[in-house]
Structure 1
């Protein structure tokens, strides 16, 4: 039993523990090139938060990890079979219901841990903060806790070297041989403002990439994935400990 995972703990332990932080992992179920499983984002999310929460718990942080939500925003992939989409309004409704549960349990801090590029929680944080003013809500993208380029030659954006390496470590039996993978070539925007990032639009996935990948997985290895995952989990663990122990989120930095 892992006392920091709600799905593995029990009512006896829950009623005796005053949790300081709840973590809601949120992934997606979508195509990841030809060689990775649809559940890649969920497997990564669950693996990283398991490692991170274990480290945080060992340092005294009373963290409880809720089950990963496996359905993300995939409105750009509706024409790709069985990419499971929930609309932003649906995602907000789910988040509100679960935040209500967390607040009723007396937990004061909620972390939404994102494992999918299509999920963006900033506006959800704003609305949850409006409805639950006593609950501090924040979000992290686990895949931004470390610099990809410190671990990978060509990380890629989706099912490339980074994600392929992590899955080779987490669930190698679900990764097909790289000879069966597409090269992950993706078209770029033709308009300068989109390329520079100060104008944004939704990617029409099937018009951007033929194999649903963005990034070449050819250089992926399980060893790279393990090192990257462990470093990311350590960074997140340190964050969870800081969040659990900090009473005042804001500080005055004036000299």
Structure 2
């Protein structure tokens, strides 16, 4: 690819020359947005932290703590929708517009055309679909192990290790597919008037035109969020907003209007 090469995807053009340097620049810009307006980032990060802690204690009390792994693995599927408010913060900073809770939270409603809400439905359906698949994988291997869902000892057995391997592969494929349709579509719906199908096409086009870089970005996000979840989900207070803001800047680099 030559620098500056673009692909036409009406009504926008998509850059085909993204590099790892652009990911680093997006992360740096995301960090600046977070430190400039930390209250919004901490608010959206706290939603994840509270949800994660509630999920942990609920599953622990129900004697099904092993379900925390597939549930936590599915968290990144929901992250793009939660990050919509962060995209609005970055957009307003970029334009020098004032911030307020009403406009930031109002971004979740989109531009009054329910396109972001439609994407939200897709996101939550995908999360439910992942849990169904995880349940099927778990049921197959748990039957072989003879250990109940209340014990983490399952993961020390051969069946448990195989379950983690199969679940990881299936989950990674699903996560990458979902990443591909949301990574540019949700920022685009915040940025301009468009229907969600067009936004999805643009997002898929951006990933297809920059496969290595976009897959690298997906891996960075997955690893970053996984590490952030280890200390009782508290790392998400910083990791989630930084990645959210950074994704906005990567969108602005990759997608231009015509």
- Taking structure 1 as the reference length, the TM-score comes to 0.31
Q: RCO higher in 1 or 2 (8 Å CA, sep ≥ 6)?
A: 2
Answer 1 or 2: which has greater helix percent: 2
